[in-house]
Amino acid sequence: MTNNQTTILAIESSCDDTGVAVVRKRGEQVTVLAQLVSSQTDIHAKTGGVIPEIAAREHVQAIGPMIASVMNSAGVQHGQLDSIAVTVGPGLMPSLAIGVQTARSLAYAWNKPIVPVHHIEGHVYSALLENGSSKSYKLQVTSSSFPALALIVSGGHTMFIKVTDHLSYSVLGETRDDAVGEVFDKVARMLGLSYPGGPKVSVLAEQGNPSAFAFPRPMSHSHDLNMSYSGLKTAVLYQIRDLGVPLTEKNIADISASFEQAIIDSLITKLRFALESDNYRTLLFAGGVAGNQRLRDAIEQETVVKGVEFAVAPQELCGDNAVMIGQVGVFAFEAGRKKSWKEVEAIARVSIENFSL
Ligand code: KG4
Ligand code: ZN
């Protein structure tokens, strides 16, 4: 910490988005000095999904110029940085390795410690921010917001986490098979939409009837916080086969709306169970699928009924980005999470609980 403030360069490269940000914390005030995200969506749309080696090659191309540009826009010299925060896992190994090796090289060259960050921890922390004025963010969560329940719904993960305090996590339940974002993408593909299809399905759903098809609400009565979405995916596939291709526009809209409703209902059932099982003050909602407006509204409504504060990530921070990694970075650095470049490595599979202080 320099002059009572912490300044962090943050790097995210766990999947197909390269993110770089400079984040500063002074007291309870967190400022994003500059940030960039470089998306590889167009490249992976051609192959219908992310090919790890191609993703890694794109990260290599993007990362150096992005770091130079973000440092420049932030007006920060490397001497003013306290640390470099980087996503070490979970994710695609070739992708993670680019961010981690970059952070290690810079940490060595600039003689800085590294703050290793768990990718899901990043998503959790993105919900701590709300939009302020002119692209800056305000902290909407204070120490009195804990214990909090975090619901993270993304392309790789769907999970409930108890956040007892800053940097203190226990996983309460998660999907046993596909993540919700992944199922959105697969249903989109069945409907002939390009990757990533989640947002396209939600746009089509606006025109459809959510009760047109009775898709299953998986594991609604399991009395736990585990989930399963592969059965729902198969039910959509069989429905499409029954209707016969090519589908009419009305069929496509109705399938989209009915599928989205099944996802919403199943997540709300689990959320209700979670909120009734413990005394939470706040719900933190984030991850790529938290960009879905109908889901945001349904979840907010449930928190209103239960009298729990609702903290959702700003729309533009729902997808992968480095602001969320820097956000964890400033809190974790101040709490003493500092590693030498030699100690940090990429880990494809790792639990968020390993990152609890
Ligand atoms: O968090 P994220 O950017 O990457 C991972 O860490 O997985 O999440 C990306 C996922 C994709 O599966 C994408 O289709 C889904 O989030 N997604 C959506 C929406 N926006 C993004 N799914 C449904 N509705 C949306 N509006
Ligand atoms: Zn993510």
What is the tens place of the pLDDT at every residue in 308-349? 999 999 999 999 999 999 999 999 999 999 999 999 999 999
CA 80–ligand 1 middle distance (angstroms): 35
Q: What is the mean pLDDT of residues 264-288?
A: 98
Alpha carbon nearest to ligand 1 atom 4, residue = 155
Is residue 135 predicted with pLDDT exceeding 90? Answer: no
pLDDT of residue 138: 86
Which tokens hold the place of 175? 């999907």
Backbone angles phi, psi at 15, to 5 degrees: -135, -110
Q: Nearest C-alpha to atom 8 of ligand 1 is from which residue?
A: 288
Is the pLDDT at 357 greater than 90? The verdict is: no
Q: What is the pTM of this model?
A: 0.96
Structure confidence at residue 205 (pLDDT) = 98
Strand partners, 165: 168
- pLDDT band of 46, cuts 50, 70, 90: confident
* CA dist., res. 172 & res. 71, Å (int): 38
Look-up of token digits 């701590």: 128
Q: Identify the residue whose C-alpha is closest to ligand 1 atom 23.
A: 198
Q: With a cut of 70, say whether residue 134 has pLDDT above it.
A: no
Atom of ligand 1 nearest to the CA of 182: 12
User: What does the pLDDT read at residue 264?
Assistant: 98
Helices (H), the chain: 41-47, 52-74, 93-110, 119-126, 180-190, 198-205, 230-243, 249-277, 293-306, 323-334
Residues lining ligand 1, Cβ inside 6 A: 15, 154-156, 181-182, 184-185, 196, 198-199, 202, 287-289, 291-292, 319-320
Measured CA distances, 150 to 111, 160, 198 (Å): 35, 6, 21
Element (H, E) at 16: none
Distance, in Å, from the CA atom of 3 to the CA atom of 24, rounded to the nearest integer, reads: 12
Mean pLDDT across the chain, nearest whole number? 95
- Render pLDDT for 23-42 as a digit per residue (tens, 0 to 9): 999 988 899 999 999 998 88
Q: How far is the CA of 348 from the centre of ligand 1 (A)?
A: 20
DSSP 128: T
Helix (H) or strand (E) holding 51, with range, is none
Give the C-alpha separation, 260 to 166, whole Å. Answer: 32
Q: Please give the pLDDT value at position 40.
A: 86
CA distance 283 to 270: 13
From the CA of 181, which ligand is nearest? 1
CA neighbor of 270 nearest in space, from 131, 196, 355, 161:
161
d(CA 312, CA 308): 12
Cis peptide before 113 (omega within 30 of 0): no
Q: Which residues pair with 116 in a beta bridge?
A: 86
Cα of 4 vs centre of ligand 2, distance in Å, is: 31
Determine which residue's CA is closest to atom 1 belonging to ligand 1: 288
The mean pLDDT of 255-275, rounded to a whole number, is 98
Atom of ligand 1 nearest to the CA of 188: 14
What is the amino acid identity at position 124? Answer: V
| Interval between CA 288 and ligand 1 midpoint (Å) | 4
pLDDT in tens, 347-356: 999 999 999 9
Q: Cβ(256)–Cβ(204) under 8 Å? A: yes
Please report which ligand is nearest the Cα atom of 318.
1
Nearest to 167 by CA among 130, 118, 131: 118
Atom of ligand 1 nearest to the CA of 197: 14
Atom of ligand 1 nearest to the CA of 123: 1
Which residue, among 111, 122, 97, has the nearest Cα to 344 in the 3D structure? 97
